[in-house]
Amino acid sequence: MQHKWVIGFMDEVWWSRFALPGLAVWSERTRPGRIVEQSRARADADAQALACYGLWWAQADQMLLRFVTGRPVSQVTTAFLDWACNELVRQGQRVWVLIGDNASWHVSAEVRRWIAEHNATAKRTGQGMRILVAGLPVKSPWLNKIEPKWQHGKRAIVEMDGTLSAAELEERVCAYFRAARQPRLVQQLPPEEVAKACRGRSKPSPSVQRPAQEAQTQQAA
């Protein structure tokens, strides 16, 4: 491996606050270990699960993590790539061999364009991190070395007889992987979806419209 090159496996995972992983535990015969499945309380305002991007740098035994408000999309992927590149440059690296699957938010035109522009800037300025994409074959998650890390992590952070808040879940995951906790990446809605949502909020509900129409009818009578 060339000096200052990183082989980095990238993937996303959902960390659930309620779903239980497959788990085997040692326990005394008279006191068998049990995992109690929890249900969501009505007053619980936290998300049931949190999306998270990860980069596993095997040579350094290091995991870079960013949780997401929303879900994985191309815009969030490029934000994670930008942040991860800056982190690797800060550690003296210059080239990232990016190994990942063919999820739509990995191979979209937006992501490919961002990587091409990023590499062109790095080449022109002689600074920053270049990204060399090495895509995995379709339907071959076992080739991505980050996948077992997710499985072991879910078993390690599970709460045996309670429920973790979103903040507690995030903190526990970061502690397990010895990763610094970072601000969440935020999924940005496309302008057309924002406009649609605004129109929906500004439009009176049928229950509001009906009394107004009835009042107008009565006045006319």
**Has residue 143 got a pLDDT over 80?**
yes
Question: Which pair of tokens denotes residue 213?
Answer: 């129409």
Confidence of residue 18 (pLDDT cuts 50, 70, 90): confident
pLDDT in tens, 167-200: 999 999 999 999 999 999 999 977 665 555 455 5
pLDDT in tens, 158-169: 887 788 999 999
Q: What is the CATH number of domain 5-18+45-188?
A: 3.30.420.10
- Structural contact between residues 22 and 41, judged by C-beta atoms closer than 8 angstroms: no
- Structural contact between residues 47 and 71, judged by C-beta atoms closer than 8 angstroms: no
Which of 70, 71, 72, 69 is closest to 10 using CA atoms? 72
pLDDT in tens, 69-107: 999 999 999 999 999 999 999 999 999 999 999 999 999
Where in the chain are the domains?
Answer: 5-18+45-188, 196-221
How much is the average pLDDT of 127-149?
93
Would you state the pLDDT for residue 221?
44
Would you state the pLDDT for residue 62?
97
Confidence of residue 36 (pLDDT cuts 50, 70, 90): low
